[in-house]
């Protein structure tokens, strides 16, 4: 089978996306875990009761088996599933066959994605612990989240980070009751771990970091206040998740969850967890993403977005805009003056989130599918959600793979 042969090589062919896998051994692409073998050829060793597949070597010739040490957790978005990441998972495995185990999360799919970011983040944290238990040789961990999946991953890493450090303090003090909020200090950021592993890459793709409330955060509303109000008042159809992304929740009189997640809190260290990673990257659609706006996905105010006409395409990655023209440093984000900006409640919360999240050294990668027939599906194309429909996003995945720290 031609597709099986392709898995043996390390070079990723972007046109592979146009050859969807339908049957045979490579149905592993529909499952959740990918690993490696000495021969760069995956075979199914075991399928557990949850449907997770661990890829290991079929080598029985007496050679020493190599165990991957880096876990990559991929998290789907709203009403999504593990299958949404199958193309990207394949590309990561092809490039780093001996280094990675790629786990496409299964705990939050379909209608379960309406349960709220905190509930889903806790579920993801539990799932990650379960995966790690099955792979005792793991040393590193990375996360990649698409859309809502980026917010779920942010909550999960905060929980895992805080639990790890609290346990360390408990062991040192001999009494967990003596652990205070101040004990989770910034000095732990440099050596903090996520689920006992070294944090390497934290990547989000078209994620509404600032929520979906406010001007042009949901482009399908065209920036019209009337339509945006309709979206706000009808967000209840997305249940608890809708209240979270529209900043409608007020837990015990406290700020909305997404606002809390822009800083460390007494319970969870959201920013410290993000800072513990060596790389933090946001991929954002510049236009044609009808669900998540450029501002919220790149963590910038509308006034801070660069002019599209000044952005140039990368020669190597046709849909990636050149970083020198497209990106803005965190210092610029935090020091720009907004004295003339109308300070509505939404604007105040937005600026609070940007200020908090700007403590993280984000790499901003802006993406444009202008001229592509698939531009109207940009939200899914940037992920290559469905290969035959979203193939133009293959170069974005390739950029992600090529810049990944192993």
Length of the chain: 406
pLDDT digits (tens, 9 = 90+) for 221-238: 877 788 788 888 889 899
Q: What is the pLDDT of residue 169?
A: 58
Confidence check: pLDDT of 189 > 60: no
Confidence check: pLDDT of 23 > 60: no
**Confidence class for position 191, pLDDT limits 50, 70, 90:** low
Residue 285 CB contacts under 8 Å (≥ 6 apart), including other chains = 206, 292, 294, 297, 367, 368, 369, 378, 379, 382
Residue 39 CB contacts under 8 Å (≥ 6 apart), including other chains = 8, 57, 59
Q: What is the mean pLDDT of the chain?
A: 80
Confidence check: pLDDT of 87 > 90: yes
Q: What is the mean pLDDT of residues 361-367?
A: 97
47 contacts 31 by C-beta, under 8 angstroms: yes
Comparison of pLDDT for 327 and 241, the residue scoring more = 241
Q: What is the mean pLDDT of residues 60-70?
A: 64
Distances 276 to 121, 162, 188, 259 between C-alpha atoms, Å: 18, 12, 9, 20
Q: What is the pLDDT of residue 76?
A: 98
Confidence check: pLDDT of 7 > 60: no
The sign one gets for the Cα dihedral 326, 277, 208, 299 is negative
Task: Kindly tell me the burial class for residue 301, based on how many C-beta atoms sit within 10 Å of its own C-beta (0-12, 13-18, 19 or more).
Answer: middle
The sign one gets for the Cα dihedral 306, 210, 195, 104 is negative
Structure tokens at 40: 């760069």
Number of other residues whose CB lies within 10 A of the CB of residue 406: 16
Per-residue exposure over 157-178, b if at least 16 CB sit within 10 Å of its own CB, e if not: bbbbbbbbbeeebeeeeeeeee
Confidence check: pLDDT of 5 > 80: no
Confidence check: pLDDT of 114 > 50: yes
Structure tokens at 105: 């999360």
221 contacts 160 by C-beta, under 8 angstroms: no
Q: Residue 96: enclosing H or E segment and its boundaries?
A: none
Residue 231 CB contacts under 8 Å (≥ 6 apart), including other chains = 212, 218, 221, 246
Alpha-helix runs per DSSP H in 178-300: 225-233, 239-245, 257-260, 270-275, 294-298
Flag the least confident range among 80-84, 158-162, 168-172, 322-326: 322-326
Counting residues of the chain whose pLDDT is more than 90, the rounded percentage is: 62
Is-above-0.85 flag for pTM?
no
Q: Is 109 helix (H, G, I), strand (E, B) or coil?
A: coil
Q: Residue 204: enclosing H or E segment and its boundaries?
A: strand 198-205
pLDDT digits (tens, 9 = 90+) for 293-338: 999 999 999 999 999 888 999 999 999 998 543 344 444 444 344 4
Q: What angle do CA 320, 366, 400 make, to 5 degrees?
A: 60
Number of other residues whose CB lies within 10 A of the CB of residue 139: 12
Pick from 125, 110, 121, 134: which is nearest to 54 by CA?
Answer: 134
Comparison of pLDDT for 62 and 365, the residue scoring more = 365
The domain segmentation of the chain, as residue ranges, is: 2-402
Q: What is the pLDDT of residue 175?
A: 59
């Amino acid at each position: 089978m031609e597709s099986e042969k392709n898995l043996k090589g390390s070079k990723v062919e972007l046109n592979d996306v146009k050859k969807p896998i339908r049957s045979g051994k490579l149905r592993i692409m529909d499952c959740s875990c990918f690993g490696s073998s000495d021969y760069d050829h995956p075979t199914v060793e075991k399928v557990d009761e949850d449907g997770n597949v661990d890829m290991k070597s079929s080598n029985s010739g007496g050679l020493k088996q190599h165990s991957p040490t880096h876990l990559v957790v991929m998290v789907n978005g709203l009403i999504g599933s593990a299958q949404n990441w199958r193309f990207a998972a394949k590309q990561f495995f092809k490039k780093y066959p001996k280094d990675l185990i790629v786990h496409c999360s299964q705990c939050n799919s379909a209608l379960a994605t309406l349960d709220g970011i905190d509930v889903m983040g806790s579920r993801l944290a539990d799932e990650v612990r379960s995966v790690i238990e099955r792979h005792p040789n793991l040393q590193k961990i990375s996360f990649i989240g698409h859309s809502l999946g980026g917010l779920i991953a942010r909550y999960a890493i905060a929980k895992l980070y805080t639990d790890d450090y609290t346990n360390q303090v408990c062991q040192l003090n001999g009494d967990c009751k003596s652990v205070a909020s101040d004990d989770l200090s910034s000095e732990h950021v440099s050596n903090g771990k996520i689920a006992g592993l070294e944090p390497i890459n934290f990547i989000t793709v078209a994620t509404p970091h600032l929520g979906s409330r406010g001007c042009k955060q949901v482009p399908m509303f065209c920036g019209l206040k009337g339509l945006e109000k309709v979206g706000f008042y009808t967000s209840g159809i997305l249940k608890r998740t809708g209240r979270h992304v529209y900043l409608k929740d007020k837990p015990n009189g406290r700020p909305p969850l997404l606002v809390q997640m822009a800083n460390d809190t007494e319970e969870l260290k959201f920013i410290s967890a993000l800072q513990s990673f060596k790389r933090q990257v946001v991929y954002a659609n510049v236009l044609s993403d009808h669900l998540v706006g450029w501002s919220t996905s790149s963590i910038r105010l509308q006034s801070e977005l660069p002019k599209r006409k000044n952005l140039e395409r990368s020669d190597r990655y046709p849909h990636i805009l050149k970083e020198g023209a497209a990106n803005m440093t965190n210092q610029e984000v935090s020091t720009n003056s907004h004295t003339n900006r109308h300070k509505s409640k939404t604007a105040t919360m937005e600026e609070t989130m940007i200020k908090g999240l700007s403590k993280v050294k984000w790499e901003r990668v802006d993406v444009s599918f202008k001229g592509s027939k698939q531009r109207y599906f940009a939200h899914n194309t940037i992920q290559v959600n469905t290969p035959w429909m979203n193939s133009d996003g293959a170069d974005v995945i390739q950029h992600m793979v090529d810049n990944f720290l192993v």
